[in-house]
Structures are given as structure tokens and as C-alpha cells.
Amino acid sequence: MPTLPAPTNAALYSIESASSLGLIIRQARKRQHLTLETLAGLCGISIRFLSELENGRDTCGMGRVLRVLETLGIELLAQPMDSDS
């Protein structure tokens, strides 16, 4: 399974797919020593939804995704891509 570098206070990750977002969420949950069941309960979502989110299912509802990120203390920012690319 791929892993991300250990985060710093200013760590930024490029989210290019549902899978990369799921990986960020899974690693944050594990760093905080939370089980799927515990995090799902804190967020008010089902364990199945959280599992699908961590596994990169791209049809997950954005509102619930944002609730998971907020619970984990992850801020989602959008930035225009460089036009030189």
C-alpha cells in the first residue's frame, strides 16, 4: 500500500484522485489511533461509507467527505494549477 511522507505542520499533498484523498484520510485516522468504527461514530457516518472513502470510491458525497476531513483536523484547500504545465 502506498504511503505519504510524515506530515509537518505545513504539509501539503496534491489530491489527484479519490484514491489519493482516501489514502490521506486513512493515514490521518491511523496516526490518531482511531478505528473505522470510532471515526465513523464521531462523524455520524456509516463504517461502510468511511471504508469506501478510504478505498478511493469516487462516488462518495462531498458533504460527508468534508465532515470526515473536519473531524480529523484536515483542511481542504483548492489552488489553481500552474498554467505553464
Query: Would you state the pLDDT for residue 2?
Result: 54
**Distance, CA of 19 to CA of 62 (rounded, Å):** 14
Separation of CA 71 from chain center: 10
pLDDT at 24 (0 to 100): 93
C-alpha gyration radius of the chain: 13
Comparing 19 with 1, which gets the higher pLDDT?
Answer: 19
Round the average pLDDT of the chain to a whole number and report it.
86
Percent of the chain with pLDDT over 70: 85
d(CA 83, CA 10): 24
Distance CA 34, CA 14 (A): 24
User: The pTM is what?
Assistant: 0.77
Looking at residue 47, its amino acid is I
Would the pLDDT of 68 be above 50?
A: yes
Whether the pLDDT of residue 33 is over 90: the answer is: yes
